[in-house]
Chains A and B, each alone.
Chain A
Amino acid sequence: MDASEFLDVFAAEARDYLQALSQDLLALENNPDDRSILDEMFRAAHSLKGMSGTMGFNELADFTHQMESVLDLLRTGEIQANQQITNVLFESLDNLEILLNKTLLEEDIDDISHMVKPLEDILNAKDQFAAKSAPKADSALESNQEPVAVSSGLTITLDDAIKETVKQGFNQGFNAYEVQVKLRQKTLLKSVRVFTIFNALEEYGTIIKSQPPAQDLEEERFGLEFAVVYLTTEDLESIQKLVEGISEVESVVVKEIKLNGRTKVTEVKPVKAETKTQKIAQPKKNDTSVVNKGVFADRFVRVATDRLDNLINLVGELVISRTQVLEIGQTINHNEAKSTFEQLDRITTDLQYAAMKLRMVPVKQVFDRFPRMVRDLAQASNKSIQLEIYGEDTELDRSLVNQIADPLVHLIRNSIDHGIETKEVREALGKPAQGLIRLEARHEGSHVIIEVADDGQGINVEKIKEKAINKGLLPENFTGELSTAEAIELLFKPGFSTSEKITDISGRGVGMDAVKTAVEALSGQVIMTSTPGKGSSIVIKLPLTLAIIKALLVRTHGQIYAIPIQAVRENLLITKDQIKTVNREKVFVLRNEVLPLFDLAETLGFESQDDGDSYSVIVTEDHGGKVGFIVDELIGQQEIVIKSLNELVGDIPGIGGATVLGSGRVALILDHSTLIKRRSETIG
């Protein structure tokens, strides 16, 4: 079956199962005796196996089969979960993810035997893991025994006991037949197929003997053929038809048994699925209504993200033209037109919110990975840590969710590595031996707050001071005291990392400034608080969505530009004599701080219109510091819909995108950090 068209659905669903398995396994570690978790895991592995097999992903199918087998032993209580088994399962989930990714990317998959081996070891040594009072449960494992071929031309030799039974049958008006059945080559679960054939025959008569014996049939110790001696009141032809009507039957031969010597052979007819005669179907009572009712909409639909983005984009366009229409509407003095415009306004606003909602996904998608991460890292650093997650259903723009993951990973790693103390230290301090990390998401106005808090040792001000001096962030002869807030400020400076030794957890050189930069790139903010001995908390404040931002509109060189409000610290008017020149660069002094001053027009490559005595200056700030930009005119704040510049225009340093204003004019959105970079490149 050509299943390639189902790859997308396969991928999405396979990942869901993988995630579910991972969560269940964590839950299992805490409740090793919870059968329901094991049942669920078994189901997930089982479904994955079936799906993979259907797609022809043999490595995945093989691997999940082994996982399923181990889970089945656990589930039936034949073996009991211990640390070793749990670790193998965790490792297997990682391997499964690797296999899945390779499969989806159509990469070559090397020998998977090293992945399978730990699972096989469990299966092979299951006695070793046996539960103390192991109830012998049905193992669902297929018997690996090679089927023993039975010589063809089966004819059952009738011993005296059988002859006697047949004779009694004759006396009661039964016919006796030998039914020889051959199954199709690829028949799966042959024993069950035999069972269905036996069931069908038993409905109309009695099987008194089989060749091979029933026990062998049940354990699949036969090739493709078997035969039975059968007593029935039905005639030969109906028995023939009966068996032919069963799936996977290649051929049936029914011979009448006659006790006085000879048996009569009737027709031999091969049966194939294709030769089925279609019966004329009886008209059903309510066929049309059934068809209509049958189309059930699922509660969830998977939609390709580019379609979604396209829709959002179109809604953005609509919102803009709505504003244009409303502007025109104000010039029309017509009551009916006015109320129609108002309605249009309302509907468009609702539509905009509904469309925005489509982009929202629960932060769960990101949070889900952390229980496993905390578990692994805690184990590696020999600490006992509990992770509490709150508000995982809080929704956030899809693009933000994807990008917030790395900063969160870093923060949580920090908490584990630097925050939470070892068990011994905690006990000595009178704290609970188990450390706590709290991960919480919540709405606050038009923002989403994500907080990572721990009950560890908090920041060490002295250590930070020492480090800052080493790194040249503080003067070498610095002897003063630092407040906690000042220490935190240092933590966020580029190139600062408090880790004394490089562990494999917090890595090298990536400090809090990386987190800050990443969050600010998402128009967010990072706020850290810390109480020595009690713990630290880091709050990330993010806008609900990135598609619409608040911007400050300015005019320069006759053009309107939008500066994201997030970057703007203040705007002010300065006079010509406030501008100083240092190293041939313009600067100005703002509350004892010397700030570089750029002419926006010049920075954008226009000629500087250096006239007048006073200038409007916008002060922006990013992690590189504050900068002033001279503009011709401030227009005001406005919500704008961000549109990316298309590939024809390309990536222009200093320009983050464009927006269409209510008047229909296009305004470029300035990306102040690259703008500064671009300027120093042109000038320098």
Chain B
Amino acid sequence: MAKTVLITDDTAFMRMTLKNVIQKNGFNVVGEAADGEEAVAKYAELRPDLVTMDITMPKMDGITAIKEIMKIDPNAKIIVCSAMGQKPMVIDALNAGAKDFLVKPFDAERVIEALNKAAD
């Protein structure tokens, strides 16, 4: 049974790119969210095995969203996505409960490694 993934990023392009990589590698992308609020709502609804979470997003940022999701499900497996230069935010995200982090621009292998490792 393929692991289910919820992708969160405010740019449609990044969602598309991530989805492509993730789907090609045997995961099942069950949902996409364009901001933190949507991610929390969709997590509650879909209960995906894994979540990728962008940090800088409108409405609700990724770190707040991680905290909210961890409230819903303390076992949520969230991978935070950041860019170079967001170190303090990545640390915040990890402290909030993110299992791993990815740095943009994404390397497909890294994305899959992170998903696989977080899924275990």
Question: A46 at interface (Cβ–Cβ under 8 A)?
Answer: yes
Instruction: Judge whether B12 and A9 touch: CB under 8 Å.
Output: yes
Residues of B near A3 (CB, < 8 A) are: 17
Question: A308 at interface (Cβ–Cβ under 8 A)?
Answer: no
The A/B interface has a contact count, at CB < 8 Å, of 142
Chain A 272-285 near chain B by CB (<8 Å), digits 1 or 0: 01001011010110
Instruction: Judge whether B58 and A40 touch: CB under 8 Å.
Output: yes
Residues of A near B2 (CB, < 8 A) are: 281
Question: B52 at interface (Cβ–Cβ under 8 A)?
Answer: no
Choose among B45, B91, B116 the residue that contacts A273 (Cβ–Cβ < 8 A): B116
**In the complex the two chains form, what is the Cα distance from A30 to B41 in whole Å?**
36
Residues of A near B3 (CB, < 8 A) are: 281
Instruction: Judge whether A291 and B30 touch: CB under 8 Å.
Output: yes
**In the complex the two chains form, what is the Cα distance from A247 to B118 in whole Å?**
9
Question: B104 at interface (Cβ–Cβ under 8 A)?
Answer: yes
**In the complex the two chains form, what is the Cα distance from A14 to B13 in whole Å?**
9
Residues of B near A14 (CB, < 8 A) are: 13
Q: Provided the pairs A47-B56, A188-B84, A192-B87 are in contact, do residues A199 and B94 lie with their beta carbons within 8 angstroms? A: yes
Instruction: Judge whether B100 and A247 touch: CB under 8 Å.
Output: yes
Instruction: Judge whether A42 and B56 touch: CB under 8 Å.
Output: yes
Which segment of A136-144, A420-428, A548-556 sits at the interface? Answer: A136-144
Give the contact-size bracket for chain B: 35 or more
Q: Provided the pairs A43-B58, A140-B85 are in contact, do residues A186 and B13 lie with their beta carbons within 8 angstroms? A: no
B113 to chain A, nearest CB (A): 4
Chain B 29-76 interface residues, beta-carbon cutoff 8 Å to A: 29-32, 42, 45-49, 56-58
A103 to chain B, nearest CB (A): 14
Chain A's closest residue to B49 (CB) is A284
In this complex, how many residues of chain A approach chain B with their Cβ under 8 Å: the count is 54
Q: Provided the pairs A54-B105, A290-B4, A293-B45 are in contact, do residues A279 and B12 lie with their beta carbons within 8 angstroms? A: no
B50 to chain A, nearest CB (A): 12
Q: Provided the pairs A50-B14, A54-B14, A248-B110 are in contact, do residues A296 and B82 lie with their beta carbons within 8 angstroms? A: no
**In the complex the two chains form, what is the Cα distance from A9 to B107 in whole Å?**
19
Q: Provided the pairs A186-B107, A192-B90 are in contact, do residues A247 and B117 lie with their beta carbons within 8 angstroms? A: yes
Instruction: Judge whether A13 and B105 touch: CB under 8 Å.
Output: no
Residues of A near B88 (CB, < 8 A) are: 138, 140
B4 to chain A, nearest CB (A): 6
Instruction: Judge whether B90 and A13 touch: CB under 8 Å.
Output: no
Q: Provided the pairs A40-B58, A189-B87 are in contact, do residues A1 and B103 lie with their beta carbons within 8 angstroms? A: no
**In the complex the two chains form, what is the Cα distance from A510 to B108 in whole Å?**
54
Chain B's closest residue to A300 (CB) is B12
Residues of A near B113 (CB, < 8 A) are: 247-248, 273, 276
Q: Provided the pairs A276-B116, A290-B47 are in contact, do residues A191 and B87 lie with their beta carbons within 8 angstroms? A: yes
Main secondary structure of the interface of B (DSSP, over half): mixed
Instruction: Judge whether A290 and B30 touch: CB under 8 Å.
Output: yes
Instruction: Judge whether B56 and A192 touch: CB under 8 Å.
Output: no
Residues of B near A50 (CB, < 8 A) are: 11, 14, 83, 104-105
Chain B 10-25 near chain A by CB (<8 Å), digits 1 or 0: 1111101100110000
Chain A 274-315 interface residues, beta-carbon cutoff 8 Å to B: 276, 278-279, 281, 283-284, 286-287, 290-291, 293-294, 296, 298
Instruction: Judge whether B56 and A46 touch: CB under 8 Å.
Output: yes
Instruction: Judge whether B16 and A290 touch: CB under 8 Å.
Output: no
Instruction: Judge whether B13 and A192 touch: CB under 8 Å.
Output: no
Instruction: Judge whether B87 and A51 touch: CB under 8 Å.
Output: no
Q: Which residues of B contact A (CB under 8 A)?
A: 1-4, 10-14, 16-17, 20-21, 28-32, 42, 45-49, 56-58, 82-91, 94, 100-101, 103-110, 112-114, 116-117, 119-120
Q: Which residues of A contact B (CB under 8 A)?
A: 1, 3, 6, 9-10, 13-14, 40, 42-43, 46-47, 49-51, 53-54, 56, 61, 65, 68-69, 72, 138, 140-142, 186, 188-189, 191-192, 195-196, 199, 245-248, 273, 276, 278-279, 281, 283-284, 286-287, 290-291, 293-294, 296, 298
28 CB < 8 A contacts A-B: A6-B13, A6-B16, A6-B20, A9-B12, A43-B57, A47-B10, A49-B83, A51-B11, A54-B106, A140-B85, A140-B86, A140-B89, A189-B84, A189-B87, A192-B101, A245-B120, A247-B113, A248-B113, A273-B110, A279-B119, A279-B120, A283-B1, A284-B49, A290-B4, A290-B47, A293-B30, A296-B42, A298-B12
A138-B88, A291-B30 given; name 19 further pairs at CB < 8 Å: A1-B20, A6-B13, A9-B13, A40-B58, A43-B56, A46-B83, A47-B14, A47-B56, A51-B14, A61-B105, A69-B85, A140-B86, A140-B89, A186-B107, A189-B90, A192-B87, A192-B91, A273-B110, A294-B31
Question: Lowest 7 A-B CB distances belong to which pairs?
Answer: A294-B30, A53-B105, A188-B103, A273-B113, A50-B104, A54-B105, A1-B108
